[in-house]
Amino acid sequence: MNPPADARPRLSRGTRLSFDRVRHAHVLLYPEGVLFPNQTAIDVLRRCDGSNTVAAIADDLRHDYRAVELTDIAELLTQLSARGLLELDSN
């Protein structure tokens, strides 16, 4: 199920996006795990600060991404949320 458009996603407590100077790559660090996000995921994760709505993030990325990729963004948010890395509270 895709997140509601008015949800304001933010990284969960203990999860942060960082840049690894050794691998020259962005990394998502969380309790006991590391993810290497692709460029789309990096662009999305950077905007997940608890103030931007899903709709606003999609709008913001519309310049750089095609419609099909915007569907992927919703899916990405859902997946990250299912893994406990993202909170999707809509209040």
Residues found near other proteins in the complex (CB under 8 A): 12-14, 16, 18, 20-23, 27, 29-34, 84
CB of 2 vs other proteins, minimal distance in Å: 18
User: Phi, psi (5° rounding) for residue 63?
Assistant: -65, -35
Nearest to other proteins of 16, 46 (CB atom): 16
CB of 6 vs other proteins, minimal distance in Å: 21
58: three-class secondary structure by DSSP: helix
CB of 51 vs other proteins, minimal distance in Å: 19
- Distance CA(9)–CA(90), nearest Å, equals 8
66, 34 Cβ separation under 8 angstroms: no
